[in-house]
Amino acid sequence: MKAFRDNACLQNVACLGRVVLGFSALTAVLSCSNQPPPILVPKIDPAAAAREAVAHFDRNGNGALESEEIIRCPGLVDAKDRIDTDGDGKLTLEELTKRFGQYVAEGIGVISFVGTVYFNNQPVEGARVTLEPEEFWHGGLRAAEGVTDSAGHFRVKTLGLDVDGAQPGIYRIRVSKTAVDGKEIIPTYYNTESHLGAEIAVDSKVALEGLEIRIAQRRAP
């Protein structure tokens, strides 16, 4: 996992904040030499995004998101334990605002990670993995995309940025692969009707452990 910061360590020069993950060991290396192009922190409004998330998923209208509500947003399911700081099982507007605010406060432009896609327990080559920002970001985040190699591994690039990684946020994940006849071979449960999602953040599961996607031909009941 690598995190690229918008950093003021040198004027007009971005500082690369590299966090190298050796699957279990985390080593932080900061360097201001050999600078990459500046990568700006996404311009998101944490409070507005939190309000929008609650408004969209709060079906019972109690102002908080319970498990049966956030199941409609798999990225929030992934992030739930990190957002629900009081451990009551509900995501409040305050908790969401605080978590989203961390994305901005940490000053991270993009976070890179390695993912793997399995289809019926076999690594799949040529699958396109798209991280699509949830709608409550209102365009503040860009999508990220990657294609698996012969070992099923992939890295994503944020669209419009020439660098590995995805911006910190909550995403829907879609996986697609077409056969030679152009027909989609991945079940809709993983693309057009995807139940996959993830939080991208410096301390998220994806950043620390990578993103493993297991696709079954038939959805488990």
For tokens 């289809």, name the residue: 119
- Tell which positions 84-123 bind Ca ion, by CB under 5 A: 84, 86, 88, 90
* Residue 78 interacting with Ca ion (CB under 5 A): no
Question: Could you count the other beta carbons within 10 Å of the beta carbon of residue 213?
Answer: 20
Among candidates 140, 202, 213, which has minimal Cα distance to 165? 202
137, 169 in Cβ contact below 8 A? Answer: yes
* Residue 68 interacting with Ca ion (CB under 5 A): no
* Residue 67 interacting with Ca ion (CB under 5 A): no
Closer residue to Ca ion, CB minimum distance, 78 or 84: 84
Q: For 132, phi and psi rounded to 5 degrees?
A: -110, 120
* Residue 58 interacting with Ca ion (CB under 5 A): yes
* Residue 60 interacting with Ca ion (CB under 5 A): yes
CB of 63 to Ca ion, least distance (A): 7
CB of 62 to Ca ion, least distance (A): 4
Closer residue to Ca ion, CB minimum distance, 84 or 199: 84
Characterize the bridge pairing of strands 115-119 and 211-215.
Answer: parallel
CB of 74 to Ca ion, least distance (A): 17
Closer residue to Ca ion, CB minimum distance, 93 or 147: 93
* Residue 134 interacting with Ca ion (CB under 5 A): no
* Residue 80 interacting with Ca ion (CB under 5 A): no
* Residue 177 interacting with Ca ion (CB under 5 A): no
Closer residue to Ca ion, CB minimum distance, 17 or 74: 74
Mark the segment that binds Ca ion (CB under 5 A) among 13-21, 45-53, 83-91, 123-131: 83-91
CB of 90 to Ca ion, least distance (A): 5
Closer residue to Ca ion, CB minimum distance, 58 or 132: 58
Characterize the bridge pairing of strands 122-123 and 128-133.
Answer: unpaired
* Residue 82 interacting with Ca ion (CB under 5 A): no
Residues that bind Ca ion (CB under 5 A): 58, 60, 62, 84, 86, 88, 90
